[in-house]
Chains A and B, each alone.
Chain A
C-alpha cells in the first residue's frame, strides 16, 4: 500500500489532492528504503536545515522567510511568495507534482544537490508544526 502510494505520488500521474501529512508518509517510506540510519523526522532539525546556508548564498528562508507562516519574497525577482506553512496557506503540500518540482529546483539552487527524503521530511515536519 505504501509502495503504491509512493508510486502514484512520484510517477507523474494526474494531480490529485493530498494532505501535507500524506507527504510525510511517502518521505518516510523513501527514507526507510534508502537510509539505514533513518529514525523518524524532527521539526527542530528541519528548522535548522531551513535556515542554513549550506555553503551557498541562499537558505530556504532567504525566499520563504525565517517565519514561513508569513509571505516571502523571491531574492532575485522581488516577487511576493505566498506563505509556505500549510497552516497559513492551505494549498501548500496538496499537489504531488508541485511539491516534487519545487523541492527539486530549490534544493539544487540552495544545496547544489537534491534534498534527501530525511531532509524533506524534517522540513515538512517543521512547517506543519508552525502556527498551531
Chain B
C-alpha cells in the first residue's frame, strides 16, 4: 500500500505512522480474536479489529457502554474486565484522537479507515444494504469472525 501523504500533514508522529502503516496494512495479521470479545462486542455490529483504535480510545468506548452510541451495551463486571484486558493488549500503539486531542470513539473516523477505504465509491456507504460505514459485515463477509482480509470483500450493489 502507499503511505497516506495527508496523514503526514495531520499527524504529529509521522515516524510511527510510517512504520506502523506498513505493519498494519492488513486487518487480520494478529492472533485470532478473543471469543468473549467476538460474542459480546460482535452481536450488534461486527467485532471491530482491536488494533484500529488506541488503548485510550478503547477505554473511552468501554467507559460509556451503558450509553453506547444510541443503545445500552453494558456488560457484567467479570466479562467487562476480560474484554478490557483483551482490548488493552491488542490496541493500536498509534494515537487515535480528534483534533482537540480527545480519544476517538469510532474506527470509521480514523485516518487509517479513510485511507483504506478511499476507493469505495461515496454512494456505496449509503446503499440500503450497507446503511452505515460501521456495518463492516455488509462488505467484509468474514467480519462476523473478526476477519477483514481483502479476499472477503464484496460491496453490495
How many Å from the CB of B110 to the closest CB on chain A? 18
Interface flags, A91-108, vs B, CB<8A=1, else 0: 000000100010011101
Q: Is the CB of A77 within 8 A of B74?
A: no
A76–B69 CB distance below 8 A: yes
In the complex, which residues of chain A have a beta carbon less than 8 angstroms from the beta carbon of B137?
79-80
A92 to B46, CA, bound (A): 20
Secondary structure dominating the interface of B: loop
Is A36 part of the binding interface, using a Cβ–Cβ cutoff of 8 Å? no
Asked whether, in the complex, the Cβ of B132 is within 8 Å of the Cβ of A77, the reply is yes
> Is B117 an interface residue, CB under 8 A from the partner?
no
Tell yes or no: B45 within 8 A of A by CB: yes
Closest to B73 in A: A105
Q: Does B100 contact A (CB under 8 A)?
A: no
Q: Is A54 an interface residue (CB 8 A)?
A: no
Q: Is A74 part of the contact surface with B, judged by Cβ < 8 Å? A: yes
Contact check: which of B69, B72, B76, B135 meets A78 at CB < 8 Å?
A: B135
Q: Interface size of B by Cβ–Cβ distance < 8 Å?
A: 18
How many chain A residues sit at the interface, stated as a range, is 10 to 19
State whether A78 touches B74 (Cβ < 8 A): no
- The answer to whether B21 has its CB under 8 Å from any CB of chain A is no
Considering only residues 53-90 of chain B, those with a C-beta below 8 Å from chain A are: 69-74, 76
Min CB distance, A58 to chain B, in Å?
Answer: 9
Name 19 interchain pairs, CB-CB below 8 A, sorted by A: A74-B44, A74-B45, A76-B44, A77-B132, A77-B135, A78-B129, A78-B135, A79-B44, A79-B135, A79-B137, A80-B137, A97-B76, A101-B76, A104-B72, A105-B73, A106-B72, A108-B72, A109-B70, A109-B72
Residues of A within 8 A of B (CB): 12, 74, 76-80, 97, 101, 104-106, 108-109
